[in-house]
Amino acid sequence: MVRFEPLTSPEPLFPKPKSGGEGRLVVVSNRVPVPSASGSPAAGGLAVALNAALQQRGGFWFGWSGKVSEEETPLEVHDFGHVSYAVTDLSQRDIDEYYAGFANRALWPVCHYRLDLTEISANDTAGYFRVNEFFARRLATLLKPDDVIWVHDYHFIPLAAYLRQMGFENRIGFFLHIPWAPYDVSSALPAYQTVLSGMTRYDVIGFQTRRDLENFTRCLEQENMAREVGGGCWEADGRTFRVGAFPIGIETDLFRQEAREAKSNSLVRRMRASMEDRHLIIGVDRLDYSKGIRQRIAAFSCMLERFPQMRNRVTFLQITPKSRSEVPEYIRMQHEVAEQAGWTNGKFGDVDWTPVRYINKAVSRTSLAGLYRTARVGMVTPLRDGMNLVAKEYVASQRGTDPGVLVLSRFAGAAAELDSALLVNPYDTEATANAIVRALEMSLEERKERWRAMMDKLRANTVDHWCASFLSVLAQERACLSSDAAERQDDGALEPAIGRTAAHFGGSWTGYRRN
């Protein structure tokens, strides 16, 4: 690990790209998957795909260290070959206001259509913008003019605006992993116009689905903040940006392989041995109200009530690692889910059968792959979700000769691609209960047909495709110049994008200040 003072280091801090021509890639996200000391990379499709892109071009990943420090400590830099990981600590107040506050008590619920759970706090709002400015200042010390920056997720919406204000005209892309709600919902967000205008400072803005993209562009129109100039491009304050839907994928083949090899995994073997001849139904989610876990267990319970022949023939395994326990809404829902599971077991369980096995710990990716493959039914029923990778992982893990059935919420981003799943409205308990029975009783022929259709999609759009397609759009510097601007650039009237000062692009973005 190298430590340095960001503002005083005279030498370039990160390795140069492997090949000439392309600038380094700089990935920014709140959580940074720093490889272990031995150099083995963090698991997870997103981390693997972005690490591969970083390895290819050289570059670094920047974000929060996950640690609290009351002093402004130097950036921590971990070097692994062509790739570095630069992380900064935050103070407790910063974490409370930026992460637990505005990001997870305002942006997260609003983007998941939950105005009832949204907390509006002027301190949190100010903290979110202050911490973004802090991240931008720290990142600024590491940047070179031809770096291509890819910012991830709702924690960092205003980051580009601060970088632009400091004079950076690098290509900057933004990908939103969570949904973008329709105007009437998203406009309830505190500092809504500032957040929206912060988005317009990127060169490319990616969403998981067309629905999110359309919700976003309607917000731009409603606020009269940007005008469409064609080809997925918009213009605001004299600069253009491109918007698009880039549904994230998984490492489809690798996941399949892990599922095949998981037979020998001890957790999977223990689970199989304990099943006797019952069918397994599986749910895997962070403990988050957006995932619809309570509603799902209620639907399972309703199924046992209405179809007594299913009692003692199925086991529902719900794997739910705790998440964001510092946020009060998450504590409340922990109680609700535990109560629903306990109630179902009390009502239907027997001395030799526990209908719901509810587990609050994280399970490794290999074990998950094996459990998915064991399960006849995968229940992925969020009330709202950006994508939901579990849905894709469940399908990829199945045996082609005897696949299980995915019961999938219409409100998961994954439903746009996995439309051969049994699609349900998770608010409709009886219909979801019926779908579980339909999945359990589905013929082998129908299961295979549905599975093949979904596998075709998963093979066509892996996480590597997702990464490459976003980066290729981000690399197209001229793709969005309006025809006027393109002509002027051809005449030499416009300078190249890199190296321009903030003043060229309207210094109107002033960030958020508390009165």
Ligand X SMILES: O=P(O)(O)OC[C@H]1O[C@H](O[C@H]2O[C@H](CO)[C@@H](O)[C@H](O)[C@H]2O)[C@H](O)[C@@H](O)[C@@H]1O
Ligand Y SMILES: O=c1ccn([C@@H]2O[C@H](COP(=O)(O)OP(=O)(O)O)[C@@H](O)[C@H]2O)c(=O)[nH]1
Residues tagged active-site: 177, 385
Q: Minimum CB separation from ligand X for residue 504, in Å?
A: 32
Q: Minimum CB separation from ligand Y for residue 416, in Å?
A: 14
Give CA torsion, residues 390, 391, 397, 400, to 10 deg: 180
Burial class (CB in 10 A: 0-12, 13-18, 19+), 20: exposed
Angle of helix 389-396 versus helix 252-261 axis, rounded to 10: 60
Give me the 229-268 binding string for ligand X, x by CB under 6 A, dash otherwise: -------------------x--------------------
* Spatial distance between the Cα atoms of 251 and 460, rounded to a whole number of angstroms: 11
User: Got the DSSP string for 328-358?
Assistant: HHHHHHHHHHHHHHHHHHHHH-BTTB-SEEE
Q: Minimum CB separation from ligand X for residue 122, in Å?
A: 23
Q: Is 33 in the site for ligand X (CB under 6 A)?
A: no
Q: Which is nearer to ligand X, 25 or 100 (CB)?
A: 100
Which residues, at least 6 apart from 175, have a Cβ–Cβ distance to it below 8 Å?
150, 151, 152, 153, 205, 206, 207, 246, 470
| Binds ligand X (CB under 6 A): choice among 13, 18, 22, 31 | 31
Q: Which is nearer to ligand X, 257 or 323 (CB)?
A: 323
User: What does each C-alpha distance from 422 to 189, 415, 514 come to in angstroms?
Assistant: 33, 10, 48
CA angle 53, 59, 65 (to 5 degrees): 100
Q: Is 153 in the site for ligand X (CB under 6 A)?
A: yes
* Spatial distance between the Cα atoms of 283 and 371, rounded to a whole number of angstroms: 10
Q: Minimum CB separation from ligand Y for residue 109, in Å?
A: 14
Give me the 371-390 binding string for ligand X, x by CB under 6 A, dash otherwise: --------------xxxxx-
Q: Which does 393 bind (CB under 5 to 8 A by kind): ligand Y, ligand X, none?
A: ligand Y
Of 42-81, which residues contact ligand X (CB under 6 A)?
46
Q: Minimum CB separation from ligand Y for residue 319, in Å?
A: 5
Q: Enter the tokens of residue 12.
A: 């370039």
Q: Which is nearer to ligand Y, 197 or 315 (CB)?
A: 315
Q: Which does 153 bind (CB under 5 to 8 A by kind): ligand X, ligand Y, none?
A: ligand X
Q: Minimum CB separation from ligand X for residue 437, in Å?
A: 27
Q: Nearest to ligand Y by Cβ — which residue?
A: 389
Dihedral of CA 332/336/342/346: which sign?
Answer: positive
Q: Which is nearer to ligand X, 258 or 393 (CB)?
A: 393
- Closest Cα partner for 55 from 28, 29, 27, 81? 81
**What is the Cα gyration radius of the chain?**
24
Q: Which does 396 bind (CB under 5 to 8 A by kind): ligand Y, ligand X, none?
A: none
- Closest Cα partner for 296 from 422, 425, 421, 393? 425
Q: Minimum CB separation from ligand X for residue 385, in Å?
A: 4
Of 471-510, which residues contact ligand X (CB under 6 A)?
none
Contact 160, 201 (CB under 8 A): yes
Q: Which is nearer to ligand X, 415 or 442 (CB)?
A: 415
Of 315-334, which residues contact ligand X (CB under 6 A)?
323-324
Q: Which does 121 bind (CB under 5 to 8 A by kind): ligand X, ligand Y, none?
A: none
Q: Which does 363 bind (CB under 5 to 8 A by kind): ligand X, ligand Y, none?
A: ligand Y
Q: Which is nearer to ligand Y, 44 or 349 (CB)?
A: 44
Contact 174, 202 (CB under 8 A): yes
Q: Is 177 in the site for ligand X (CB under 6 A)?
A: yes
First to last CA, the chain: 42
Q: Which is nearer to ligand X, 193 or 325 (CB)?
A: 325
Q: Which does 31 bind (CB under 5 to 8 A by kind): ligand X, ligand Y, none?
A: ligand X
Contact 404, 394 (CB under 8 A): yes
Query: For binding to ligand Y (CB under 6 A), which residues are involved?
Result: 44, 284, 286, 319, 321, 362-363, 365, 368, 387-390, 393
Which residues, at least 6 apart from 508, have a Cβ–Cβ distance to it below 8 Å?
237
Size of the site for ligand X (CB under 6 A): 13
Instruction: Tell me how crowded residue 396 is: count the other CB atoms within 10 A of its CB.
Output: 26
Q: Which does 349 bind (CB under 5 to 8 A by kind): ligand Y, ligand X, none?
A: none
Q: Which does 203 bind (CB under 5 to 8 A by kind): ligand X, ligand Y, none?
A: none
Q: Which is nearer to ligand Y, 157 or 284 (CB)?
A: 284
Residue ranges that bind ligand X, judged by CB under 6 A: 31, 46, 153, 177-178, 248, 323-324, 385-389
